[in-house]
A and B are shown apart, each in its own frame.
Chain A
């Protein structure tokens, strides 16, 4: 399946390679570089490429390309999913997935890659198992290792791989047993120039942080499960129980994990928390333009809108901006042509406004289209769909765990066309 992996940074240096079968020369990456050249933007490089003898499947993540070399027919999603899993694992281990981090921990990364694939076929991809085999570096451990000559490879080989719940490591013990669930909903929307909603939907995810001793068997139920239209689960969730009773029943992995993703049924009208009044004009003569944006609360369910931010990808011709915000700060990167207005908290009494002029490259034609605005926001303590967790029960263990549920609503791909 997966023959080799190359990690490539944005400037095109291969800084790590790993082969699971016989070695393939780096020159195979040239085809990729060619495509990268052609695509200009790294996001636009086609994920699946063909070369005379190999197939290249690439993901671009964290300013890095993960390039895998394939020799025979395989499901491309299989490879893509796996490459993302590698990136996830690196992120999980070192806090971020970047070139520096990988270079600093090259041996650990290499050991991880060795465990994750055997002969190109995934072997261990569960974080719980991997962490038992190769311990993530911590400051304390590296000090201890220096003193004792110990290593970060587990002496005990993981038993999780053999159990019927491969996602949970054995022998977990905590003095404080706690389970937290974050219900995070994102609003994806496209709003018209006139303010009408072209398209809106709510996607949700439940992130869990479970630190419970032993083998807890949890059941999470909702007040209004009928809201959930389409769901996907972590492998630990028992599907049959969901089908039959609409409850989530599972033995959780240890630590942080994504319990489920869901999509709220499209029958429900999606509440759009803010409205945007905007006018962006480019003048035919004089190579300049005007911009005026005001944001106000719309359906916020009585909560405060925080972390409000507007991002605008300006047309290439815009050289610089001269804008004054009534609240927050505004920056313009003339290289990437990205305007960012970081507003912060939305005050309904005094609506934030951004106004000023745009100066254009002289002689350039007036841009056809006004740029669209991408909105970012956050509302604490609210799941915009109205989803509510009703209770969490634990079976199989005797102690009383500390339980908590938190709701957050965010803007997902929230775009206002202008």
Chain B
């Protein structure tokens, strides 16, 4: 150890620093004498001084040594106070090292760690995106529960950051926060939902990772992003690809029907595949309608295929497993070559890939048979690799190639690696049983091996021969005799036991030899291993039964030896056998059956692959590798028998969907077209700046480049822009996805609407283009700037045309100005349905790029201001359905609420957050004389209650009111949802009890359909009653109005005026609810058909009341 170096002249050279760590800081001479602890202690003293010095270089040196300590696992926690002071250092390296230290020790020193928080909070507002990102990284890595709210806030803010890099960091932070405090799940899911909509390739992988960790079961969040993810996939960084592919595999298995039924013909093994249940197949045969693959299913397969060419083995493997689990049988083999290629990679990679191939090759030999030679074993392979290759070769063996394989096996049997040689013998045994043509050859070969010099080889051969003979014992006396001959030379207990068992089992075929073997065993009995003794006793018993004349005495001798054996198993066995075979007065009825018991024909053992049952795990997973269910393993579910509604993935204007009320369509489209619209915007932008060269190639990443550029400009102007309207700032806080949107924002409201509409049109066009777009997406990576620019300009020009046609929508009334204007697309949904056919031409194309800077600065301002108000979720309070009543219920009275009052009503809109939720709008009014802060939803009861909370209302001024929307999953019951409405100071218990009619969604259908469905819901599912109607209400209109006031159902047009029909579905389970009302004078027969009998009876009660009253 060099002890001469003194710390203060080491500068930045690291070897010297190392030396300093080893050496004593104070005096060179005493260093060698240091014990571990004293050395640490003294060094720390010295480090403390250095850290507190004013010289940057000293501090840096000290930090390097501290990090050195951490790296070696030494404790440096006592330096915490000294280190934390440097957190705000200007020197980047010093700062980074301090970060490293903080993250490592913050959990242990929570109080001190809090000192650093303000630095990070400041850094979170830094104009430089990297500083913001790294601050968030460290802040979220500090595992101190107290700062959870700060982290939450920071994450939310960062998720709306203009820089995709910061958004990526926020996606990582989500997972960290979740592991620190799982309570935050709901809020985190909201952020995830928002980030999932992000189109940046940088963000995609990270947010899907967060999704997988926090809420892998919320598959509904993926629907709208599915196509986007598929299209982005090629351009996502490799690690993200792995995560996205594995998530999409799971998704696809829940959303598409099996592509395997039709091509059962292609399945060479012609055995039923593991995943398909019998019933499914039968049903399929009955229906036998041609299978048409969902275009989205195809999209996924097509877009993942190029990734087989990735250099990253994990990506290749994940594509391979995706094909294995999702592709039609005849397409799976495209992955073969790539998998075989991976075998050239590192040993560990080989290991995992071979495991997966082993599983695959059991079900589909044909895939790998042409590559059989790639699995030939080399003497330099590691043992576990050899065994896996052997396994695969055995799986691949068939009549055609068995001779080649056996020749290869012959080489292996001679291997110096004896464990491997033994495994080869077992493999030969398996080939022999599987392929009857070669059984004899194999058996002869194995018998030859019996004369091998190596004991393990012989033993293994005996064991395998035993198994083989058992499958066809008839003609193999010779082999048994041969084995008896070599018996004396075999010492491995298992082998000896096997031979004895064979003798006993087939003693009648070798009547002369067996007693002789027994005689020999009697001599050596006491010296044998337990397992051999047991078999000797067995042999004796069997011989006694078949040939008692010759062996009676021998048997008795052996039984006596066994009786006094040291091992109780053997004593037990001996006692049992004696009672069983030796006739005596006591031995009862069993004695008669002794022969049948002992010499019963025994089923031959099945020699099968150890990978036989591995296919219950998804390929490529840790669980598959270990053959055990790992923590957090997500089961891959079976294909659904019937595909769930594919339109959930639509991101364009939906066609009038039969079963849903128009309002559903509206919100859906509104929510979704955002993605495409942004896409377009982005392309326009890109078209204009693609000349710069740098950001040339990939369009998907152009979003990142363009946003980063605008981000930068924003950050510069940030300081100056002190005053901006509240409205815009809240806008930007809300806008989840960067600058593309920002350009939209900055236009006037009027224009914004136009734009949104334009988008619809675009998406309409786009729908047809969909596949092409997908292609070009991946292509963009491949094509030079020139091509891109031209294509995008073409694109934008065509858009301009379509924009013209869209301009005419009536200006929308904006109520509640300061909340309403959110950029969230749902606000704009209302005018949508008139869009399609209007044709006006006063549209002047908006210069998309011009307003950028102004807008950006305002958004940054909002960044700085935190989340104030921006989180107030907008509601769609606009449309009350045409017939719907607006019954408002009181949630919280202002007396009990200390000035806060809340009312709620059911807007009868499909819930945006989750289709199974009922949308509820809550109007919060502050009737006190001071402003209320942080109004949010607290604890709920029952705890499992699934509520989508409204975003926290940061501040509600006195006399102001705000309407927020939330979603509640009532699970089709009228049980009240109890929760707490909290302000900063107080919390109030409130509850929402829905009328049964609010748990329904209207549903449009024709009269015929109605009758058909009604026909299916008879008997138990039908409830009816006669109602006395108030005379006034007999007109069609009034009846309808009454019914609709009670229940949120859709009117079914009826041919008879006395017959009224209404249809709906329950929100949670989607069960049909059919109402029919036959009016006869003042009486009416009301019939309700639904599976939900409780709903039916309650609905009946409510309707009865309503109709009678009117």
Contact = CB atoms under 8 A, between A and B. Distances in A.
Does A pair with B? yes
Interface of A: 1, 14-19, 21-23, 26, 39, 41, 43-44, 46-48, 50, 55, 57-61, 70-78, 80-84, 103-111, 114, 118-119, 121-123, 125, 137, 142-143, 145-147, 149-155, 157, 161-166, 170, 188, 190, 198-199, 201, 203, 215, 217, 229-235, 238-243, 249, 251, 258, 261, 263, 313, 315-316, 365-369, 371-372, 374, 395-396, 413, 415, 417
Interface stretch (B6-14, B111-119, B848-856): B6-14
Q: Is the contact region of chain B dominated by helix, strand, or loop, or is it mixed?
A: helix
Contact of B309 (A46, A105, A111, A231): A231
Contacts of B346: 59, 61, 80, 84
A66 to B, nearest CB: 10
Nearest to A144: B12
B630 A72 contact: yes
Contacts of A15: 72
A386 to B, nearest CB: 20
Contact of B695 (A151, A164, A238): A164
A47 B351 contact: yes
Interface string B149-186: 00000000000000111000100110110010000000
B13 A146 contact: yes
Contact of A77 (B10, B130, B309, B349): B349
Given A15-B72, A190-B378, A371-B416, A163 B694 contact: yes
Contacts of A123: 172
Contacts of A166: 237
A55 B781 contact: no
B242 A75 contact: yes
Contact of A203 (B99, B137, B316, B344): B344
B255 interface: no
Nearest to A21: B179
Contact of B621 (A17, A75, A109, A367): A75
A240 B784 CA distance: 12
A75 B620 contact: yes
29 contacts: A16-B72, A17-B73, A22-B107, A23-B104, A43-B347, A46-B351, A48-B352, A70-B622, A73-B621, A76-B622, A80-B313, A80-B349, A82-B314, A84-B348, A104-B15, A104-B18, A105-B14, A107-B14, A108-B14, A110-B68, A162-B708, A163-B701, A165-B697, A229-B337, A233-B309, A235-B311, A239-B309, A368-B452, A415-B380
Interface string B295-317: 00000000000100111111011
Interface in B1-26: 10-15, 17-18
B209 A77 contact: no
B104 A137 contact: no
Contacts of A145: 11-13
Contact of A163 (B60, B633, B695, B781): B695
Interface string B361-382: 0000000000001101011101
A25 to B, nearest CB: 9
B771 to A, nearest CB: 14
A240 B782 contact: yes
Contacts of B165: 161-162
B783 interface: yes
A80 B702 CA distance: 31
A80 B313 CA distance: 9
B1001 to A, nearest CB: 37
Contact of A106 (B18, B415, B696, B701): B18
Contact of A241 (B17, B99, B107, B782): B782
A396 B696 CA distance: 10
A263 B341 contact: yes
A313 B143 CA distance: 53
B416 A103 contact: no
5 closest pairs, A vs B, by CB?
A238-B782, A164-B701, A146-B11, A72-B632, A145-B12
A395 B14 contact: no
B454 A368 contact: yes
Interface stretch (B88-96, B223-231, B434-442, B539-547): B88-96
B159 to A, nearest CB: 16
Scoring B13, B239, B623 by chain A CB atoms within 10 A of each residue's CB, the highest score goes to: B239
A55 B628 CA distance: 11
B527 interface: no
A122 B73 contact: no
Given A153-B93, A232-B311, A199 B376 contact: yes
Interface of B: 10-15, 17-18, 56-57, 60, 64, 67-68, 70-73, 91-94, 96-97, 99-100, 104, 107, 128-130, 137, 140-141, 143, 163-165, 169, 172-173, 175-176, 179, 201-202, 206, 209, 234-235, 237-239, 242, 246, 306, 309-314, 316-318, 337-338, 340-341, 344, 346-349, 351-353, 373-374, 376, 378-380, 382-384, 408, 411, 414-416, 452-454, 620-623, 625-626, 628, 630-634, 693-698, 700-702, 704-705, 708, 778-779, 781-784
B415 A369 contact: yes
Contacts of A147: 11
Contacts of A203: 344
A18 B239 contact: no
Contacts of B93: 151-153
Given A73-B633, A165-B698, 10 more contacts: A73-B630, A74-B622, A84-B346, A119-B140, A162-B164, A162-B165, A235-B237, A241-B783, A313-B380, A366-B453
B56 A413 contact: no
Contact of A164 (B68, B100, B239, B697): B697
Contacts of B235: 164
Contacts of A150: 12
A393 B827 CA distance: 52
A368 B239 contact: no
B693 A22 contact: no
B141 A151 contact: no
Scoring B11, B72, B376 by chain A CB atoms within 10 A of each residue's CB, the highest score goes to: B11
A55 B11 contact: no
A395 B15 CA distance: 44
Contacts of B64: 107
A152 B60 CA distance: 11
Contacts of A22: 107, 143
A149 B376 CA distance: 57
A58 to B, nearest CB: 8
Nearest to A122: B239
Contacts of B306: 239-240, 243
B96 A153 contact: yes
Contacts of A57: 348
B311 A234 contact: yes
B314 A164 contact: no
B591 to A, nearest CB: 49
B416 A413 contact: no
Contacts of B783: 238, 240-241
A260 to B, nearest CB: 8
A149 B67 contact: no
B693 A396 contact: yes
Contacts of A146: 10-13
Contacts of A111: 96-97, 100
Given A18-B71, A142-B13, A145-B13, A258 B694 contact: no
B56 A149 contact: yes
Contacts of B67: 106-107, 110
A371 B175 CA distance: 53
A147 B72 CA distance: 28
Contacts of B206: 121
A198 B624 CA distance: 32
A324 B506 CA distance: 58
A328 B96 CA distance: 54
Contacts of A153: 92-93, 96
B73 A26 contact: yes
A88 B628 CA distance: 31
A198 B622 contact: no
B96 A114 contact: yes
A365 B453 contact: yes
Contacts of A415: 378-380
